[in-house]
Amino acid sequence: MSESLKAVKGMNDILPPESARWEWFEATVRRVMQGYAYQNIRTPLVEPTPLFVRGLGEVTDIVEKEMYSFEDKLNGDQLTLRPEGTAGVVRAVNEHSFLYDGAKRLFYIGAMFRHERPQKGRYRQFHQVGVEALGFPGPDIDAEVILMARTLWRELGLTDVRLEINSLGQPAERQAHRAALIAYFEAHADQLDEDAKRRLYSNPLRILDTKNPAMQALVEGAPKLLAHLGEASLAHLEGVKAALDAVGQPYTINPRLVRGMDYYNLTVFEWVTDRLGAQGTVCAGGRYDGLIEQIGGKSAPAVGWGMGIERVLALLEDGGVAVPPVVPDVYAVVPDAVAAPQVIAALEALRALGVRVQMHAGGKEGQGSFKSQFKKADASGARHALVFGADELAQGMVAVKPLRDAGAEQVLRPLADLSAWGPDLRQAGAEA
C-alpha cells in the first residue's frame, strides 16, 4: 500500500462541524459590510511577484522571508501566492480603472499564504477579511473603518480587544524621523541585533517593531515620529481621535505602532488582545495614500484593514462564545427503500419551500430499523421527524413527529398539500 498523502504543513483542512463556525463568521462579516455599504471584491490567489516587491517593499519580512514565489514553467513569469490582500485589490482597481466614477468601499474574504513557523492563530495558509476604502482623503473614513471593526466585534460577541492608534505622517516627515532614528541607532550600534543592523539603513522604522526583549529599552528611548509631524498630519490624527471620542470608543496612542508594509502613511491602528500570547494583533490597518500610484495607477487616497479569521475564531472559542448550530428543520425517516422515489419527490418539494431536510439514506443492509433511524433523527438536531411509513404513504400522508417538544403529539399531514403546511416546518426551528 502506498504511503497516505497529507496536507502541507501549516495548511489545514476545515471539516464539519468546525466549518459551520466559519460560515457563521463569514455571514456575520457580510452583514456588517452591508451595513456600511461596502461591496465584495475577489482577486486571484496568484499575482505577479513584482506587485508585492513594489507594493510591500523589498526590505520587509514578507518579501525577504515569507512569500511563496515560483517561476511559471510555461512562460517564465515570476509569480507569488498572495501574502496579503491590499496590493491585489489596488492592482485590480488600477487595471480596471475602477475609480473612474468616484470613490469605492470594498471588502474581501479569502486565503493568504506566508512561509512561517505554524503556531496557534498563525498558519502558512491563513484567511483574512479585509476592507479597503479607496478615494476618500479625510479622517472621517479612517474612523469609519476602525468603527466597522468594532461593530463586527459586537456582532460576534467578542470582548477583550482594545484599540491602539498612531500616525506615520507623510513621506517628508518620515524622512526626517528616519534620519533621527539612524543617528540614534548608530550611536547605540553595539546594542543592535542582526536584524536591526541589517535594517538600519534600509528600513530603520521596522527596528521599532522588534520582538527582541533585549532591545526593548533601546527602542523605548528612540526618537518618536509624533515629534516630527507637521500641522496637517497632526490635524488628521486629531480628526480621527475626535470621531472616536464622539462615539465613546476608547483608544491608546501607541507611538511605536508601525506597519510591516512600506506603503502606509498617516493613520495606522491595531485591535489587539492579551489572550493570544505573542500573536496579539487581531485586526490591523491604516492609510496608504501612496500605494495606488506606486503600483502604477493614478494617485488616490486609501485606507483599510486586514483581520485574521483564524485568530478571531480562536478568540471566540477561548471566550466561550457559542456559535449557532446549523441543523436541518426535519429528518426524513424512510423505513422501506421501495418508497424512496416517492419520498425523494416529497422532500424536493419541501426544499423548494425553504425547508432544510436531511433524508435517511439506506446502506448495504437496507434502510435500518425505526429505532436506529429515530436515533439518527434525534442526533441531527432537527425539530421534527417526517415518517414515511407504508401505511401513511398508502393514504397519501406523512407522519410529522416532534423531536424537541415532549408534550406534542405526532400528526398526519397530506403529501398533496405540502405548500399549505410545509413552510411551518421551516419556522419551527427558528433558532437552528
pLDDT digits (tens, 9 = 90+) for 272-292: 988 766 558 899 999 999 899
- Decide if pLDDT at 193 tops 80: yes
Q: Of 271-285, 293-307, 329-343, where does mean pLDDT reach its minimum?
A: 271-285
Q: Can you tell me whether residue 268 is helix, strand or coil? A: strand
pLDDT of residue 428: 46
- Answer for the pair 170, 233: CB distance below 8 angstroms, yes or no: yes
pLDDT band (50, 70, 90) for residue 366: low
Per-residue CA distances from 281 to 195, 259, 276, 307 (Å): 22, 12, 8, 9
pLDDT of residue 256: 81
pLDDT of residue 330: 95
- Answer for the pair 105, 36: CB distance below 8 angstroms, yes or no: yes
What percent of the chain stands above pLDDT 90?
Answer: 64
pLDDT band (50, 70, 90) for residue 148: very high
Report the mean per-residue pLDDT for the chain. Answer: 89
- Answer for the pair 303, 288: CB distance below 8 angstroms, yes or no: yes
pLDDT of residue 269: 96
- Answer for the pair 388, 398: CB distance below 8 angstroms, yes or no: yes
Domains defined for the chain, CATH in brackets: 18-169+229-318 (3.30.930.10), 330-428 (3.40.50.800)
Position of cell 535594517?
Answer: 199
Tens of pLDDT along 103-131? 999 999 999 999 988 777 678 999 999 99
Position of cell 483599510?
Answer: 304
pLDDT band (50, 70, 90) for residue 384: very high
Containing 346, the helix (H) or strand (E) segment is: helix 340-352
- Decide if pLDDT at 431 tops 50: no
Amino acid at 26: E
Residue 29: what are its φ and ψ, rounded to 5°? -60, -50
Q: What gap in Å lies between CA 364 and CA 370, rounded to an integer? A: 16
What lies within 8 Å, CB to CB, of 161 at 6+ separation is 153, 271, 272, 273, 282, 315
What percent of the chain stands above pLDDT 70?
Answer: 94
String of b and e for 358-376 (b: at least 16 CB within 10 Å)? Answer: bbbeeeeeebbeeeebbeb
Tens of pLDDT along 219-275? 999 998 889 999 999 999 999 999 999 999 999 999 888 776 667 899 999 999 887
Would the pTM count as exceeding 0.75? Answer: yes
Q: What gap in Å lies between CA 390 and CA 214, rounded to an integer? A: 78
Position of cell 434525534?
Answer: 378
- Decide if pLDDT at 36 tops 90: yes
Task: Give me 350's grid cell.
Answer: 419541501
What lies within 8 Å, CB to CB, of 132 at 6+ separation is 41, 86, 89, 90, 104, 105, 106, 107, 108, 302, 303, 304
Quick one: DSSP state of residue 24? H
Residue 393: what are its φ and ψ, rounded to 5°? -65, -35
Among candidate residues 117, 230, 214, the one with its CA nearest the CA of residue 172:
230
Q: What gap in Å lies between CA 290 and CA 263, rounded to an integer? A: 6
